[in-house]
Amino acid sequence: MLVKAQQKLANTTPRKLRLVADMVRRLPITQAQEQLKFATVRTAAILGAVLNQAVANATQTHKLAPESLRIKAIDVDEGRKYKRWQAVSRGRAHGITKRTTHIRVVVEGEPDGTKS
C-alpha cells in the first residue's frame, strides 16, 4: 500500500534539498531516518520531518507495520519564487530570488509486516 506525505513552500532551494533526497532514496525507513538524523545540512531536518509525517500516516491511518515500510519515491519540485531587491551603491538595486520547494514522500509497506 502506498502512503503519501507532502510539504509545500519549504524555505530552501530545490537544488540543496535534492542532494539530501538522493542520499536516502530507496532505503528502508529506519536507515533513512538514521542518515537524516546525523546529516549536517539544514535540509536534512526538513526532509526528515516530511518522512516522519509519512511514517505516521502509514502506521496510524493505514495500520501498516513500521518495520515493513520502505521509501518508494521522493519528489523535490520548485515552488514559488519570491523576488526581493537589495540596495547597492549609486542608488541602484540588485534583484534577489528567494526560492521555495515542494516535497512529496511516498512510502510503501505491507499491512501485517510480511510480503505476500
- Within a domain: residue 42? yes
Rounded CA separation 92/57 (Å): 50
Q: How many CA atoms lie within 13 A of 66 on its CB side?
A: 13
Domain that includes residue 102, residue range = 2-108
For residue 67, the 8-state DSSP code is: G
- Within a domain: residue 27? yes
- Within a domain: residue 6? yes
- Within a domain: residue 115? no
- Within a domain: residue 78? yes
Confidence of residue 111 (pLDDT cuts 50, 70, 90): confident
- Within a domain: residue 116? no
pLDDT tens-digit series, residues 78-88? 999 999 999 99
pLDDT tens-digit series, residues 11-42? 999 999 999 999 999 899 999 999 999 999 99
- Within a domain: residue 11? yes
**Could you tell me the CATH number of the domain that includes residue 40?**
3.90.470.10
